[in-house]
Structure 1
Amino acid sequence: MDSVDEEARLLVNNAPISAPVNYTRDVHVLSFAFLLIFLAYGAAQNLESTVNTEEDLGTTSLGILYLSFTFFSLVAALVVRALGTKNALILGTTGYWLFIAANLKPTWFTMVPSSVYLGFAASIIWVAQGTYLTSTARNHARKNGLHEGTVIGNFNGEFWAVFASHQVIGNIISLVVLKDEAGGSTNGTTVLFIIFLCVVTLGIVLMWFLRKEDSKEEEPSLSSSSLRSSIFSLSKSVVAPLADIRMILTIPLISYSGLQAAFVWAKFTKEVVTPSLGVSGVGGAMAVYGAADAVYLVGPSFKLLFLFGFY
């Protein structure tokens, strides 16, 4: 009996130990891919109400986009489960590429379909981003013997720090490229959207270099037999948070955030900035706004605002 125990101890002691795996590379790739995609999209979004003014095409397109985003957010989790997070991230990037491409020939037949599709793509990419970042942090913590909560915080901190600069960089590009001409016309719009299209393409290429999640962390694939139960579970998960007082307290904050964003992206750029500085001045004004927003994001006021909501 003693010899058997001794052999067992030897086997345990000699068992191969998995080498530490560094997942920070994936956080770098994800962060800079989002930076490239959203510096282009954010700056393009700021120009919609001032560049596509015929029959309020730009403003209407943004409204359709966010209605679509709201609707498809209800089923985004199912799509991410079915595709896997990396594939869902890549699929989500295509909506931003198509939306910017539509601005090269802005008509109702190009902008409206691309806005609807971007609403779908945006819902997919944001669910996939949160899932991928959390899963990557857990993998990194588990395989390197680190505290999971600390790693999740560090990974999210890096992502949002990089992402917060997208408004500044994208709008500075707009400021440099766009030039106002006599008669109210603007020169350089086509060149600007071509530049943005190239930047988004680079961001999509970066997404391909993301490591796929470990099988232990992957959600089970969505089979046809479980579709009905998944839809039922999804319906419950949508309704259940409404019974949580913390969620109810965040509703005014979320509503305020949406209203101020709509005002800044559409009315402020069209009715305040453009009459004073011209279309080319939109980039400069929004770059300053983006810089202030980034400072606010990491400042104590942001923490107090959300502590009020959650506690």
Structure 2
Amino acid sequence: MSPEGKTLLNIIILGLGFMVMFTAFGTCGNIEQTVIKSFNSTEFHGSGYTSMAIIYAVFSASNLIAPSVIAVIGPQLSLFFSGLVYSGYIAVFIHPYTSSFYTLSVLLGIAAAVLWTAQGNLLTINSKDSTIGRNSGIFWALMQFSLFFGNLYIFVAWRGKSHITDKDRQTVFITLTVISLVGNFLFFLIQRPDPEPAPTDASESLLPADISDSVSICYLILTERSIQLAVTKEMLLLSIPFAYSGLELTFYSGVYGTCLGAMTQFGHDAKGLIGLSGILIGVGEILGGGVFGILDKCNRFGRNPVVFLGLVTHIVAFYLIFLNIASDAPVAPEEGTQLQAFIQPSVTVALICSFLLGLGDSCFNTQLISIVGFLFRDDSASAFAVFKFVQSITAAVAFFYSNYLLLHWQLLIMVLMGFLGTITFFVVEWGVISSRRDSDYDSI
């Protein structure tokens, strides 16, 4: 197989591994707050929002050590062992206890930092400048199929149920745990890419064969490099769209599904709509990843048009959600909300919003992954660690305030951050385009 064919196969396997694993975990995150509300147990007093806040808070702090873990054991093993923790978190819901639930939340935060930094590293070392956009789209589209399969199962299993029984919960989470474990083992199919000329930058020492003899020195070098990258002009500007991606991640992956399940106006199908909503979010994600990554038609215009489309798509979705969903839906009790929305609640409008949330998210994330991989190729692990640090800390804040803030305040925060993030992304991309033009001019 040619080197390019091998690297493309690696990207596909990476995407498939994430697809299978996040079929389980993404579905878990989408339904856990609804499931927790239905528990009939005096031994459990947890909150899905609080758990996610803990996960993302620990995730953000753990990004400082993630590059060093990858340097020590390699990206492939980093993916596998991190995936085992994801499986453990899902398994907690089979027989939940408050202590084990929050303990696994902390461990999952550490594992998530390692997992996503390893993913960014593998994506970069299996890509060239000419293929980073395509590969980002392929990975993103494959991974987002997870939203389709897992939530289809929830839609079928929970349709018509107004209450989730213990048996319903155990059946779902045993199935999700097994699926997650299968995804973990797919990572062993990733092959090491053919070697390139020896790097001159210390940051390229990210694969097992290049590991420093001193783990402590490696940790200090990579942590210092992450800090150095974090204060560069480009990374400071990109931190705003990074932060926005964390806020909207919280909303579509945890809050919106909970809102739909709490809408008594949707009748007995409200709980099943959580799964159907997740499917349509996945359709939007897959469509965005395919159009803007696999087809790669927008590269000649730069990344800005795609990000602008993502902003417009999300603004439309937020406005329709504001009109269609009751303001107390994120914090309503298990029996649901009794408040009226601004319009007669419509299932069709709610599901259109799900699709728009997924499409807009794919617009932002494919372009953020692409620009980080392009700008910081020689420091990919450290750069993606900074990306995930900012994204995860804002997600933690968003999951925390989701316990208290009404829906319209959450939407307002995202609208403001979306505008600011889009503007700062434009500034960075204009710098990339300008440097390309200067380079082309000098080569004439």
Q: Is 1:310 the counterpart of 2:300 in the alignment?
A: no
Choose which of 245, 256, 261 in structure 1 pairs with 2:244. 256
Superposition pairs for residues 29-44 of structure 1, below 5 Å?
A: 29-44=13-28
Q: Residue in 1 aligned with 2:95?
A: 105
The runs of 5 or more residues in structure 1 that have no matched partner are 1-18, 138-147
Q: What is the Cα deviation at residue 78 of structure 1?
A: 0.1
2:253 alignment partner in structure 1: 265
The answer to whether residue 17 in structure 2 is matched with residue 45 in structure 1 is no
How large is the RMSD of aligned CA atoms in angstroms? 2.6
State the one-letter code of the partner of 2:107.
Y
2:191 counterpart SS class: coil
Could you tell me which amino acid in structure 2 is paired with residue 289 of structure 1? I
Partner of 1:241: 229
The higher radius of gyration belongs to 1
Aligned length: 280
Q: Is the 8 A contact 1:52 1:106 kept in 2?
A: no
- Cα 1:302–1:50, aligned 2, differ >3 Å: closer, same or farther? farther
TM-score normalised by length of structure 2: 0.57
Q: Is the 8 A contact 2:30 2:258 kept in 1?
A: no
1:58 to 43, 48, 55: 48
Corresponding residue number in structure 2 for 1:8: none
Shift of 1:56: 4.5
Deviates more, 1:211-220 or 1:62-71: 211-220
Which residue in the other structure is 1:199 paired with? 179
Query: What's the counterpart of residue 16 of structure 1?
Result: none
Residue 90 of structure 1 pairs with residue 80 of structure 2: yes
- Supply the AA of the counterpart residue of 1:89: L
The partner residue of 1:125 within 115, 123, 138 is 115
Please show how residues 138-177 of structure 1 align to structure 2 within 5 Å: 148-177=128-157
The secondary structure found in structure 2 opposite 1:278 is helix
Q: Given that residues 93 and 169 in structure 2 are in contact (C-alpha distance below 8 angstroms), is that contact kept between their aligned partners in structure 1? A: no
Matched AA of 1:32 = L
Instruction: Say if 2:46 and 2:98, in contact at 8 Å, map to a contact too.
Output: no
* CA apart distance, 1:91: 1.3
What SS is found at the alignment partner of 1:208?
helix
Q: Which amino acid is 1:245 matched to?
A: K
Counterpart of 2:273, as a letter, is: G
Change (3 A) 1:61 1:273: same
Unmatched segments (≥5 aa) in structure 2: 38-43, 197-203, 293-297, 299-304, 309-421, 430-444
SS at match of 1:149: coil
Look up the match of 1:7: none
1:243 and 1:205 map into 2 onto residues whose CA distance is 37
Residue 310 of structure 1 aligns with an amino acid whose one-letter code is V
Percent sequence identity over matched residues?
23
Displacement after TM superposition at 1:38 (Å): 0.9
Q: Distance in 1 between matches of 2:136 and 2:251?
A: 28
CA distance in 1, matches of 2:260, 2:90: 24
Q: Secondary structure at the match of 1:211?
A: coil
